[in-house]
Amino acid sequence: MPNKKIIEGLQAEFNDALEVSNDGSYDILTIEKGQLHALCENLKKDGFNYLANLTAVDYEDRFEVVYHIHSVPENRKIAVKTIIDYGNPEVSTVIDIWRTADWQEREVYDLLGIKFAGHPNLIRILLPYDYEAHPLRKDFKLK
């Protein structure tokens, strides 16, 4: 299983910043927020050329940003997660690694209010441009 070798290499490089788990379908790499961009660059070099899905979850005390990344030529897959503070929801963009992050990051910003540092055009995408709330946050109650 080639994923195993890649993960071993990443563990040697990122040490304590990286935690590895498996949910039965994806190997999950949980990385410290500061190292996210470096980890993603490494994954791209290892052949993970297709960022299939990027989203985030509000856990009320923290946000988790989730990346499902695939390799089209080698048909491999991996998931990356990073945990960010509720008070300062900001994480580095990956748009320079996978262009498809553009709208997906804008959507996460729009609906959950997470900022992606370095994104060239971080504006709302689904809701009106002058809307004020982030409706997928748990403190946004439906009336």
Partner 1 sequence: MLQTENITVNIGPQHPSTHGGLHVEAIFNGEIIVDSTVHLGYVHRSVEKIAETRTYPQFVPYTSRLDYLASQLPTLAYCQAVEKMIGAEIPERAEYIRVIMAELSRIASHMLAIGSIAIDLGATTGLIYTFRDRERIMDMFEMTSGQRLITSYMRIGGISDDLPPEFFPAVNSFIEDIPKMIKEYEDLLVGNEIMQARLKGVGVISAEDAINYGVSGPNLRATGVAYDIRKAEPYGIYDRFDFDIPTRKNGDSWDRFILRIEEIKESSEIIDQALKDLPQGEIMGKVRRVIRPEAGKEVYHRIESAKGELGFYIVSDGSDKPYRLHVRAPSFINLMILPQISKGEKLQDIIANIATLDPVLGECDR
Which residues of the chain form contacts with partner 1 (CB under 8 A)? 23, 25-26, 49-53, 55, 57-58, 66, 68, 72, 75, 77, 79, 98-100, 102-104, 107, 111, 124-128, 135-136, 140, 142
Q: Which is nearer to partner 1, 12 or 73 (CB)?
A: 73
Q: Which is nearer to partner 1, 15 or 70 (CB)?
A: 70
Q: Which is nearer to partner 1, 46 or 102 (CB)?
A: 102
Residues whose CB is less than 8 angstroms from the CB of residue 114 and which lie 6 or more positions away in sequence, other chains included: 56, 63, 65, 84, 89, 90, 91, 108
- 23 in the Ramachandran plot: left (φ > 0), alpha (ψ -120 to 50) or beta? alpha
Angle between helices 36-45 and 2-14 in degrees, nearest 10: 150
Query: CA–CA distance from 110 to each of 64, 115, 116 (Å)?
Result: 16, 9, 11
| Segment holding 84, helix H or strand E | strand 76-85
To partner 1, the closest distance from the beta carbon of 129 in angstroms equals 9
To partner 1, the closest distance from the beta carbon of 12 in angstroms equals 27
Q: Which is nearer to partner 1, 36 or 102 (CB)?
A: 102
> Would you say 64 and 105 are in contact if contact means Cβ atoms under 8 Å apart?
no
Q: Which is nearer to partner 1, 1 or 142 (CB)?
A: 142
To partner 1, the closest distance from the beta carbon of 66 in angstroms equals 7
To partner 1, the closest distance from the beta carbon of 14 in angstroms equals 23
